Amino acid sequence: MERPFEIVDTTLRDGEQSAGLVFSPEEKIIIAKALDEAGVPWIEAGTPAMGAAEQRALSRLFELGLAAKLVAWNRANSKDILDSIECGFTWIHISLPVSDLHIYNKLKKNRVWVLERLKRSIAFAKDHGCDVMVGAEDSSRADPEFFLEFAHTAAKSGACRIRYADTVGCLEPFSAYQNLKYITERCPLPIEFHGHNDFGLALANTLSAYKVGVAYASGTISGIGERAGNVSLQELYHALKTVHSYDCGVNAARLDEIERDILPEDYKFKILKISYSYSS
């Protein structure tokens, strides 16, 4: 690939949504430092709107002097964004649903409302000096044309990239390749693929995203996360390097150390450790 395929770690945000898993402030610091030492360029650190304890813990991350860019996850409202800014974040992720299922059934709104809310939220964050990336929630069940309208609206409003979220893990690698190829060729923003592992296909779907030219992929240490989890960053590293001869620039051994030293035993990835190399 001519352009890099960058890793976005969301262990501290989506990973912590694993049932029963809560990182202490000290553990968050250890994990963030280790991710930075492993060369992970983007760390989605958490959701400041969760409350004062989360805000205090996230604010401490800025004292570490990390090279990685720290990103805060937000709903599309000014209160969430202000909470993130007060913690010290300048990279702001703003999430809105793009599937009609979520727009009409969950929010009881319509597509026009989504686009207007998107524009206002991006403008608010930009007015406060932030760089903005947007999350298109439930992208894999959305009308592709509305996803593209959402992306064009975000681009015109000043966003720098968009997340294509397989929120309920319903993609398989063939549909992922087909859907993402269509969208990537038409999208005005770099795309980040965010896969869930409900059918054990998060890695395969992420590799499909890589093949069509998606620029970023998010995952977690050991594949932890909501429900069945996310793509494992260790697996993704080895699959990219072994199958596609692409080195995404992270230290997989350091990622393994985070799993071994920090994660409770019940959350460690249950696979046979194999040698990721071919013999000639």
For the segment 167-219, what is each residue's pLDDT rounded down to a tens digit? 999 999 999 999 999 999 999 999 999 999 999 999 999 999 999 999 999 99
Q: What is the CATH number of domain 6-267?
A: 3.20.20.70
Kindly indicate the confidence band of residue 241, based on its pLDDT and cuts at 50, 70 and 90.
very high
Q: Report CA Rg, the chain.
A: 18
Closest CA to 45 of 274, 180, 59: 59
227 — alpha (psi -120 to 50), left (phi > 0) or beta? left
State the average pLDDT for the chain: 93
Residue 277 has pLDDT above 60, yes or no: no
Q: What pLDDT sits at residue 260?
A: 87
pTM comes to: 0.93
Q: Are 270 and 35 in contact (CB under 8 A)?
A: no
Read off the pLDDT of each residue in 236-259 and give the average, rounded to a whole number.
Answer: 92
Q: Residue 71 has which token pair?
A: 């990103």
